[in-house]
Structure 1
Amino acid sequence: MAKTKKSQLAEAVQAKGPVVYVGPGFRDSILSTFSIFAEGIPAEYADDPVMKHLFVSPDKLNEARTAVGRKGTALHTFYHQALEKHKKGENK
C-alpha cells in the first residue's frame, strides 16, 4: 500500500539522524533555512506542534522545498504559522 503524504511527513518528523530545517530563518534563534541538524530535531522544537514539521530528512529536501512554496500543502501552512508564531514572540 502506498504511503500517504501525511504518513511520510510523520516519518520525517520522527527521524533520528540528520534533518534539514525548511522553515523561515530567524536571527534570534538557532534556526536558519536549510540548516542541518545531525542528531535530529533540536529538543526545543521536537514537541512544538508547528515547528517540528519543518524538519525533513535530507532525502526529502527537494520535495519539501517544493511543498513549502505551494499553497495548500501542509508545509506551506506550517511555514506561515511559524512566521506568525515568531511575530507574536511564541517560538524564540
Structure 2
Amino acid sequence: MVATHEPTRTATEQRREAVTYTYTPRELNVLISREIAGRLCEIADTLTANADFLLANDDVPASIKRPRAGVYRDVALQLIKLAGNELHGAWAGEVQ
C-alpha cells in the first residue's frame, strides 16, 4: 500500500475548494463542436501539406501525383466546409 500526502502549503496559503462547472446543453454543444471543427481543420491542413509535398517530389511521376494531390485538396476543402457547417449548426442551436 502506498501512502499519499497532500502537497505542502505555506502557512498563509488556504485550502482550495474543488470547482465544478455547469454548462447548458447549448454551451456544451458549442464547446464540442469547436473541438470537432478544429480537428477537421487540422486534418485539412495535413492533407494540403501532403498535396504540396507530393507535387514538389520529383521522384513521383506527374501522372500519379497530380490526380492524387487533387484528391487531397478536394477532401481538404470538403473538411473545411464540414467544419464551418459544424460551427454554424452549434451556434444556431441545432443538435446534430
- Greater per-residue helix proportion: 2
* Structure 1 and Structure 2 fold alike (TM over 0.5): no
- Greater per-residue strand proportion: 1
Q: Using CA pairs under 8 Å that are at least 6 residues apart, name the structure with larger relative contact order, 1 or 2.
A: 2
